[in-house]
Structure 1
Amino acid sequence: MNTPIAIIDDNNFLIKSVKDKLSFLTDISIVFTANDGQQCLEKLNLNARVKLILMDIEMPRLNGIEATAQIKQKYPQIKIIMLTVFDDDENIFKAIQSGADGYLLKETSSPELYNAILQTLEGGAAMTPSIALKTLNLLRSPLPIANNEVEDSVKLTGREVEVLEQLAVGLPYKSIAENLIISPSTVRRHIENIYKKLQVHSKVEAIELAKRKRII
C-alpha cells in the first residue's frame, strides 16, 4: 500500500528535485504539492488522507513553521518533516515547538530522505546529523519557551495523563492505542484535548509543560 505524502515549497524547481529523489520508490505516492502553508491547509481541507508532509520553512503568506503549528492542531496524526536550507538555532527551535516530527536539510540524499520518511512514519524523529547536534545543544541551553503562564489549575483526566506519559517516551499513536486498549482515533482525540487544556500546539510543548507542571 502506497503511503500518501505532500511536498510544500515555494520553489517549483525544488519540488521537482524532491519528486525526482522519491521517483524510484513504489511505496510512496505524492498526492499533492503546494507553494506555501496557506495553500497546503486549503488542500488538506479537500484531502486529509496525507500521512506525511515535507515542509519548507521560508514561504510567502504562511511560512512552514506557522503552517506546521496549524496542521498539528487540526490534524495531529499527520507527520511533518521540515526540509529546508535553514540550520540556525532559532528556526530549529521554533520548528520543534510547532510540532515538527523531523528536520532535514535539502542537501539530504535520496536514500537518506527515504529512510527519514520511514523512520518518521514509525514514530521516530529523523534529523540531519548536524541538526541533531544543534538540537542537543538547544536542550542543554534551551531558549525561553512560550506558554509558561498556563494556569496551575489545569487538570487532565487520568486517561489523558496516561496518553501524555506514553507520548513522552516517544511511542506512536498506534502503540499507545494498543497499550491502552483504545482506538488510534481515540488517542488523537485525547491529544487534541490535552493541547486545548495546556494551551499548546505540539507534543513537544505539551510534554515540556506537563513536566514543568509535574503533571507527568
Structure 2
Amino acid sequence: MIAIAIVDDKPQLIRNLQAAFEGSEEVEVVFTAINGLQAVERMREGPHRPEVILMDIEMPRMDGIEAVRQIKAEHPETAIIMLTVFDDEDNIFQAILAGATGYLLKEEKPAHILQAVADAREGRMPMSPLVAGKALTYLRQELPTRRIRRHRPEDFQLTRRESEILEQLAAGATYPQVAERLFISRQTVRNHVHHIYQKLEVKSKAEVIQLAERNKWFR
C-alpha cells in the first residue's frame, strides 16, 4: 500500500478524493493539508510521511510550487504530483524546475490518479496528455543548462552502484526495471536514488535525464 498525502485549499475536493480512494488496497491517505505551508510543516513533523503527494498549485499562505521546492529540498525521495486546473506552460515548467514528479489536471478520473500515484512511486513521470506534450518540448529545448564545473558522473563521487543506477535512470528506466536489471530490491533502488539526487544536486528524475543529455553521459 502506498502512503499518500493530499494538499488542496478546497476541503470538498479533499473529501471527494478521500471518498474515491476509500476501500482501495493501493493507497492510504496519511495526511491532508489545506495549503503548501501546512504540507511542509506536516512533512517535517513526521513520523508517517507519504511516499507520494498530490499537490494543488494555487493556495493561500504558500503555493504548491514553493511547497514542492521546500519539500524536495528536505525529502528528495518523496514523489510529488501536481493536481491542478492550470495547464499553462509557465506553471508546468515552474513545477518541473521545483522538482515535481508529475503533473495531472483535476479533470482526470480517480482511477487515472491512482495509476499516476503508482507510477510516480516506481520512478515514472505521470502527466495528463495535454501537459506531456508541453513538458517534453520544454525539457528538450527550453530547460536551461545547469552551470557546473564538473561534467562527468565520476566527478560527483558516485559509487559504482550509483553510477549503474544513474545510467539506467538516464535511459528512462523505472525503479522496478532498474531493480530487475541489477538484481536488487526496489527499496534499495530508492535508497540509491536518494543519494544520487543529493550528490547531483537535483530534485527529480527529469533533471537527471536533462543533466545526462546535456553532458552527453552514457553515449
If the length of structure 1 is used for normalisation, what is the TM-score?
0.82
Q: How does 1:92-103 map to 2 (within 5 A)?
A: 92-103=92-103
Q: 2:148 aligns with which of 150, 156, 159?
A: 150
The change in CA–CA distance for 1:187 and 1:72 in structure 2 (over 3 A counts) is farther
8 Å CA contact 1:168, 1:207 repeated in 2: yes
Secondary structure at the residue paired with 1:100? coil
CA distance in 2, matches of 1:183, 1:118: 17
Residue number in structure 2 paired with 1:159: 161
8 Å CA contact 1:69, 1:202 repeated in 2: no
Secondary structure at the residue paired with 1:29? strand
Residue number in structure 2 paired with 1:57: 57
Q: How does 1:35-54 map to 2 (within 5 A)?
A: 35-45=34-44, 46-54=46-54
Deviation of residue 201 (structure 1)? 2.5
Secondary structure at the residue paired with 1:70? helix
CA distance in 2, matches of 1:186, 1:123: 13
Residue number in structure 2 paired with 1:124: 124
Number of residue pairs the alignment of both structures matches? 213
Deviation of residue 72 (structure 1)? 2.9
8 Å CA contact 1:200, 1:206 repeated in 2: yes
Computed over aligned residues only, the root mean square deviation of the Cα atoms, in angstroms, reads 2.7
Secondary structure at the residue paired with 2:203? coil
Q: Deviations over 1:101-150 (max 9, x none)?
A: 221111212222223223333433222121122223324532435xx211
CA distance in 2, matches of 1:112, 1:122: 15
8 Å CA contact 1:76, 1:188 repeated in 2: no
Deviation of residue 173 (structure 1)? 3.6
8 Å CA contact 2:169, 2:208 repeated in 1: no
If the length of structure 2 is used for normalisation, what is the TM-score?
0.81
The change in CA–CA distance for 1:111 and 1:175 in structure 2 (over 3 A counts) is closer
In structure 1, runs of 5+ residues without a counterpart are none
Residue number in structure 2 paired with 1:18: 17
The change in CA–CA distance for 1:151 and 1:190 in structure 2 (over 3 A counts) is farther
Residue number in structure 1 paired with 2:78: 78
Q: Which stretch of structure 1 is more off in the superposition, 150-159 or 45-54?
A: 150-159
Deviation of residue 184 (structure 1)? 5.0
The change in CA–CA distance for 1:168 and 1:24 in structure 2 (over 3 A counts) is same
> Identity across aligned pairs (percent)?
46
Secondary structure at the residue paired with 1:80? strand
Q: Deviations over 1:52-79 (max 9, x none)?
A: 1111112233322222233334333322
The change in CA–CA distance for 1:150 and 1:110 in structure 2 (over 3 A counts) is same
The change in CA–CA distance for 1:108 and 1:137 in structure 2 (over 3 A counts) is same
Residue number in structure 2 paired with 1:141: 141
| Counterpart code for 2:88 | D
